Structure 1
Amino acid sequence: MPELPEITLFRNYVTETSLNKTIKKIEFPDASLLQSPASKFQKELKGQQLKKAERLGKYLGISTSGNASLIFHFGMTGKLEYYANQDPPKYSKMIIHFEDDYRLAYTCRRKLGKIFLAEDLQKFQEENEIGKDALELSEKEFLELLEEKTGSIKGVLMDQHMMAGIGNVYSDEMLYQAGIHPKSKTNKISASEKKKLYKKLRSVLEMAIKKEGVRKEFPKSWLIQHREDGEDCPKCDGKVKQIKVSGRSTYFCPSCQKEEK
């Protein structure tokens, strides 16, 4: 599933291709992902321009010159494709036609994404109780969010109401680099460990953005290159283990990430 780094790429893509172009028409080859009637999308967007693309964790918000913003959630397989003079991309759900005959298509093969209309991204965030974008958190804000939490630290990192943008893969990487067991109770983690985790949160997300989400290009010393049960740990002589945490397949090294008893 696209996480915060991938949404950053989508934001940059829209910014570089699709802003300040007048929308001539909107096409819905499959309207099943729309969270408002297609007629409302037509009414709010036709004749307007896309003005600014913003990231909120796993969501991409695009404000317009009108009174509405487009909000995209990408599910497992959602993508954006800007094109001209060719057939629509496969699995297109929404195609925005611009007056210069270029188009921006939202595709989603597994139909797990969603397309919203909202007053603006901030209002959407408030109405859906979405936490602050993880890379926008200060260390102080991060530590405050973790105060008095008793659930597993992995569950807290992935809770989109707490902080937005961290999913299964990157939460495993942050915890691995911080040397914290994914099942550790958040209130049992020391202050110094939480501060280290915050630093790893930032460095993992920033590296993922730098590498444009191409995980095979991440450092060989990262867990992400070894996400398989029984794989050699890149840091020690231990073996990577797979378990379930918060209902998700979780990878860690029992030797590097000791479970508190």
Structure 2
Amino acid sequence: MPELPEIVALEQFLAEHAVGAVVGRVDVAALSVLKTFDPPVTALSGRDVTGVGHWGKHLGVDCGGLWLVTHLSRAGWLRWIDEPSAAPPKPGKGPLAIRVNLFTPEGATPAFDLTEAGTKKRLAVWVVHDPLTIPSIARLGPDALAVSEPEFADLLHGTSQRVKNALTDQTVMAGIGNAYSDEILHRAKLSPFANSARLDAEQSARLYSAMRTILSDAVGRSVGQDAARLKGEKRSGMQVHGRTGEICPVCGDTVREVSYADKSFQYCATCQTGGKPLADRRMSRLLK
């Protein structure tokens, strides 16, 4: 799933490649992704691309006051095509959800695709005059990289969730998902099951520093990358997430995993839980 660093990188990529172009034909290959119908998606055609923006994990393209906003969800992605086929894509064929064709001032005709792999279709697209009217954006907490350390402490202490869940709760703070929360907690040397409201001042400060470092470093690695390379760039910076069974680069212990019905997270017991493994079952809790 694209998280804040990848969304920021995609935002800059579109700012450099799409702003200044004119929207041509918009091809909808999967009607289910459209969450609004008025204005229709066809209203984008003929409009100038004047800007881009993001709200947490939502990415938006400003087409002269009419916004195309997407949440790529777990398996969605944005793909840039320099020379798309002139023929409209066939609905229901492959991962393509929407293709936005463009005309640049230089006379080029690129396009960007919104795609989604897998069978669980969760990618969402809205066409709106004001992105803040989208319910999932209206509920967002502040962007993770926009909060100060005191604000961060207040946000965590305002919820009794496990810290892993608090970091990924978009109503608490926007932009962090499963992958970067694993990395943040590993760097902060905190258990994913620690209670957010019970973190002391030193733990909260350590967690804030880890969040700033992990996200800022990821943004630095991602911005300027071609959209097609961002997934690989994201994985290259991970020390524990997605590395079950590998060696922790900090202490040499084996990276462990806790699995749920449809997701999992990774951690290092030596670095984060005092050497105690977390129970790998749906109602996981720290073994005592």
TM-score band, normalised by shorter chain: 0.7 to 0.9
**Can you list the C-alpha shifts for 1:182-223, whole angstroms capped at 9, x where unaligned?**
00011221111111111111111112222225145327xx32
Aligned to 1:17: 17
Instruction: Note the 1:5-44 alignment, pairs <5 A.
Output: 5-37=5-37, 40-43=40-43
Q: CA deviation at 1:39?
A: 6.8
**Coordinate RMSD, CA, aligned:** 2.6
SS of 2:192's equivalent in the other structure is coil
Instruction: Note the 1:129-140 alignment, pairs <5 A.
Output: 129-140=139-150
Q: Percent identity?
A: 28
SS of 1:53's equivalent in the other structure is strand
SS of 2:115's equivalent in the other structure is strand
TM-aligned CA distance change 1:23 to 1:183, over 3 Å: same
Instruction: Note the 1:36-75 alignment, pairs <5 A.
Output: 36-37=36-37, 40-43=40-43, 45-66=44-65, 68-75=66-73
Aligned to 1:142: 152
Letter of the structure 1 residue corresponding to residue 73 of structure 2 = G
Q: CA deviation at 1:60?
A: 0.5
TM-score, normalising length: structure 2: 0.79
Would you identify which runs of 4 or more consecutive aligned residues in structure 1 move more than 6 Å? Answer: none
Query: Using the alignment, how far apart are the partners of 2:35 and 2:131 within structure 1?
Result: 15
For 2:74, which of 73, 76, 79 is the aligned residue?
A: 76
Aligned to 1:97: 101
8 Å contact from structure 1 (residues 97, 104) kept in 2: yes
SS of 2:272's equivalent in the other structure is coil
Structure 1 spans left out of the alignment, 5+ residues: none
Structure 2 spans left out of the alignment, 5+ residues: 223-229, 275-285
8 Å contact from structure 1 (residues 173, 223) kept in 2: yes
Q: CA deviation at 1:98?
A: 2.5
Q: CA deviation at 1:139?
A: 1.5
**Can you list the C-alpha shifts for 1:51-88, whole angstroms capped at 9, x where unaligned?**
1111222110222213x211111123322233343437
Aligned to 2:237: 218
8 Å contact from structure 2 (residues 84, 110) kept in 1: no
Q: CA deviation at 1:162?
A: 0.8
**How many pairs are equivalent?**
255
Q: CA deviation at 1:175?
A: 0.5
Query: Using the alignment, how far apart are the partners of 1:184 and 1:249 within structure 2?
Result: 17
SS of 1:63's equivalent in the other structure is strand
Query: Using the alignment, how far apart are the partners of 1:22 and 1:162 within structure 2?
Result: 37
Q: CA deviation at 1:241?
A: 2.0
TM-score, normalising length: structure 1: 0.86
